Structures are given as structure tokens and as C-alpha cells.
């Protein structure tokens, strides 16, 4: 079921409507010089929208929490001297008023704020009656409803120039990504709200600059609308997110290397081939996870059988399993042949895992009467 939001094009005069919409700039505004140097370099590369965090949500106190309002005149200067549009993160009512006072053109709501409906509602109430593009980052946790809820709150306040920013999701598991992209979530967002522009944030997904190219390409192959990429005149010296920022030059290379493919269908409501493949990847990953869990149980059974001196193979049990699975498979439109092959392979793998458990320590035990 798709959700009806009242969405109008972002429409920034002078900014091309071709994909991708590009937003670039440092994670944080640090000094007037850093803001201006980066801005001039980006403007020279053809960038039209400049991002810079003024207030930074930091996990621990005493980290650099942004320069605060004193950085806003620098953004105003960027606008005046380069002609770029400016964008910054707002997390509360004061931020909104301050940013607007200095002519910031686009406001975004950060991942931590999107996760808090009270904060989003307060920002929505403040924005009522204004005409400014608002970009909403996904919440830190992989909860699409929370993301949609924030979009609805802002849209209900009369903001129609809306976009979503996908910056990946925080996860306890170790992974190469700083924030797991879980591509199926923005794809689902696209399915639920087909006319909502979705901008990908490869910097915060990756957490490291060498992954930005691939993630940006993936974003384009999945037919998303834009990219927001952190760029700094001297990335290694950045006061926040140093590892994931690129120089304006490197950014230009990344953008030039992007291959823009056509969606294989004209209808934006339909999923593209790449989107469908992402869904297949997700299911295949899930299948492997389930196999892993199934084998862990098989090993527990192995331990039990070892302790109770029971043989691994009990033919009656295997026949019952296979018949049950084939009947279930039939109901799901899967052929007997397929179900039998799959479950024979699973059964064999389970036996291998159990055998390994049964044999653990057996070499020292060679002369015992257990086998």
C-alpha cells in the first residue's frame, strides 16, 4: 500500500534536475577559512549545494560539538561568494530559527533526531507555514515506520519540498560499513512513497573514503535520486568524521566515474531490475543465516547423542522430515524434486556437523568401546 504525501519538486533554480542531485561539503564547519576554501574548491567542481554541520550530535561529551551559531555567517558568505545553496542539520527549534536567520536554504534532520518523534514534532511545528526544502535522514535504528513517521510529521506541517536521506543503520555486528546500508529499507520506502526523492549518504554508510565510489554507484544503479558526500579541503585534519571525507578533487573523480544507467522500466512505481536483485541478495543472505542457525542446532543434537550414546543416523526420522517438507513445499509451489535435493543436502551437512562433534576428542579415545 503506498502512502500519500503531498510532495512537490525540490526545485532550486540553477540546480539541474538530472540525477544525481549532489550535495557536498564538510562534515562540520570548523573555521571561516576551512568553510570558504572548501566551498570555493567545490564550486569550481560544479557543486551547487553546500553542506556543513554547525551543531554536531556527538556520541560522547567533550568531542567537537560543532562551532554553533558563530559558523552561520560563514555559510551566508558561501552563498554570497560562490552562489551555492547551503544546507545544515537542525535538531531543535533554536537551530531552525538561527539557520533561517542566516538564509540557510535547506535544513536536514539528523539520524538521531529522526529517532525522536517529540523532537521531530517540535521542528515540524516551528516550520509550519514556511517554504523550505527539508531532508530527513533515516533514524539510526532500522525502523522504516519511524522514518515515514518523521516525513509525515513534517509534511503535515505543510512542508512539501521533502526528501529522504539514507545514511545506513547502526548495528551491533561488526561489518565493513560504519552504518549498514540495508538497501531493502530505502527500496521499501520508495515503494511506499513513490514520489519522494531519496538521497544516499555514502560517507556515513561507509565511514571510510575508499568505499564511497562503490556505494555511490550502487545508489545510482538502484535508481536513487541524489548523493550527499562529505568533502573537506584537508580531510585528514577534519575535526569530525576525518576518515570518510574526500577532497573536492577526489569528489569530482568519484562523480565523473559514476555510470548512470537507465531504469529498465519507465514507470517509477515499478521496481527496477537492480532493486529486485537487491531483494534476492537479501533473501539469499537470510537463507545462509538460517542454515548457520540450523547447523548450530544440529551440533547441539550431536552433543546430546554423544552424551547419550545414540547413533547419528536414524532413518525413520529422516523419512518423516523429508515427507513433511515435501508436503509443505507443495503448498508453496515448490517441486518435490527441488525440496528433496535441498533437504538431502541440508541433511548431509547436518550429519557432517554432528559427526564432527561426535569425533571431537575421539583420537585420544581410539581404544575405548564407544565406537
How near is the Cβ of 329 to ligand PEP at its closest, in Å?
43
* Segment contacting Mn ion by CB under 5 A, of 26-34, 181-189, 279-287, 334-342: 26-34
Q: What is the chain's length? A: 371
Q: Would you count residue 111 as binding ligand PEP (CB under 6 A)?
A: yes
Residue nearer to Mn ion on the CB measure, 221 or 241: 241
Pairing of strands 106-109, 21-25: unpaired
Q: Which of residues 64-103 bind ligand PEP (CB under 6 A)?
A: none
Residue nearer to ligand PEP on the CB measure, 199 or 271: 199
- Classified as helix, coil or strand, 329 is helix
Distance CA 240, CA 28 (A): 7
Distance CA 53, CA 116 (A): 19
Q: Which of 182, 204, 325, 353 binds ligand PEP (CB under 6 A)?
A: 204
Q: Which of 7, 104, 119, 137 binds ligand PEP (CB under 6 A)?
A: 137
Q: Would you count residue 27 as binding Mn ion (CB under 5 A)?
A: yes
The C-alpha cell 533515516 sits at 138
Residues 6+ away with beta carbon under 8 Å from 300: none
Residue 110 contact among ligand PEP, Mn ion, none, beta carbon within 5 to 8 Å by kind: ligand PEP
Residue nearer to Mn ion on the CB measure, 216 or 278: 216
Q: Would you count residue 30 as binding Mn ion (CB under 5 A)?
A: no
Q: Would you count residue 241 as binding Mn ion (CB under 5 A)?
A: yes
Beta strands in the chain (DSSP E): 21-25, 49-51, 85-90, 106-109, 134-137, 162-166, 198-200, 226-230
How near is the Cβ of 352 to ligand PEP at its closest, in Å?
44
Residue nearer to ligand PEP on the CB measure, 245 or 272: 245
Distance CA 226, CA 213 (A): 14
Total binding residues toward ligand PEP, as defined by CB under 6 A: 8
Residue 122 · residue 93 · CB < 8 Å = yes
Amino acid at each position: 500500500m503506498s502512502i500519500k504525501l503531498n510532495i512537490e519538486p525540490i526545485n532550486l533554480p540553477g540546480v539541474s534536475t538530472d540525477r544525481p542531485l549532489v550535495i557536498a561539503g564538510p562534515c562540520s564547519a570548523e573555521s571561516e577559512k576551512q568553510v570558504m576554501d572548501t566551498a570555493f574548491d567545490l564550486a569550481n567542481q560544479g557543486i551547487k549545494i553546500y553542506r556543513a554541520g554547525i551543531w554536531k550530535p556527538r556520541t560522547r561529551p567533550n568531542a567537537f560539538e560543532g562551532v554553533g551559531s558563530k559558523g552561520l555567517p560563514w555559510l551566508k558568505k558561501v552563498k554570497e561568494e560562490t552562489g551555492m545553496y547551503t544546507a545544515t542539520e537542525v535538531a531543535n527549534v533554536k537551530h531552525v530559527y538561527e539557520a533561517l536567520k542566516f538564509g540557510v536554504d535547506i535544513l536536514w534532520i539528523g539520524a538521531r533526531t529522526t529517532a525522536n518523534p517529540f523532537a521531530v514534532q517540535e521542528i515540524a511545528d516551528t516550520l509550519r507555514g514556511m517554504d523550505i526544502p527539508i531532508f530527513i535522514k533515516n533514524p539510526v535504528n532500522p525502523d522504516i515506520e519511524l522514518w515515514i513517521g518523521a516525513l509525515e510529521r513534517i509534511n503535515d506541517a505543510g512542508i512539501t519540498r521533502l526528501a529522504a536521506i539514507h545514511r545506513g543503520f547502526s548495528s551491533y555486528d561488526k561489518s565493513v560499513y560504519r552504518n549498514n546500508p540495508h538497501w531493502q529499507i530505502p527500496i521499501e520506502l520508495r515503494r511506499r512513497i513513490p514520489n519522494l526523492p531519496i538521497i544516499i549518504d555514502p560517507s556515513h554508510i561507509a565511514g571510510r573514503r575508499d568505499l564511497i565510489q562503490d556505494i555511490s554507484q550502487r545508489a545510482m544503479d538502484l535508481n536513487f535520486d541524489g548523493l550527499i558526500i562529505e568533502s573537506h579541503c584537508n580531510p585528514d585534519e577534519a575535526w569530525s568524521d576525518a576518515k570518510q571525507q574526500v577532497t573536492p578533487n577526489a569528489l569530482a573523480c568519484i562523480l565523473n566515474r559514476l555510470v548512470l544507467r537507465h531504469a529498465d522500466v519507465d514507470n517509477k512505481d515499478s521496481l527496477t531490475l537492480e532493486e529486485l536483485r537487491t531483494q534476492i541478495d537479501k533473501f539469499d543472505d537470510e537463507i545462509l543465516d538460517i542454515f548457520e542457525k540450523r547447523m548450530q542446532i544440529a551440533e547441539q543434537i550431536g552433543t546430546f547423542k554423544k552424551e547419550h550414546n545414540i547413533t547419528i543416523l536414524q532413518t525413520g526420522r529422516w523419512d518423516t522430515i523429508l515427507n513433511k517438507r515435501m508436503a509443505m513445499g507443495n503448498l508453496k509451489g515448490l517441486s518435490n524434486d527441488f525440496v528433496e535435493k535441498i533437504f538431502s543436502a541440508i541433511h548431509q551437512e547436518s550429519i557432517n556437523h554432528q559427526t564432527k562433534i561426535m569425533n571431537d576428542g575421539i583420537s585420544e579415545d581410539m581404544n575405548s568401546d564407544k565406537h
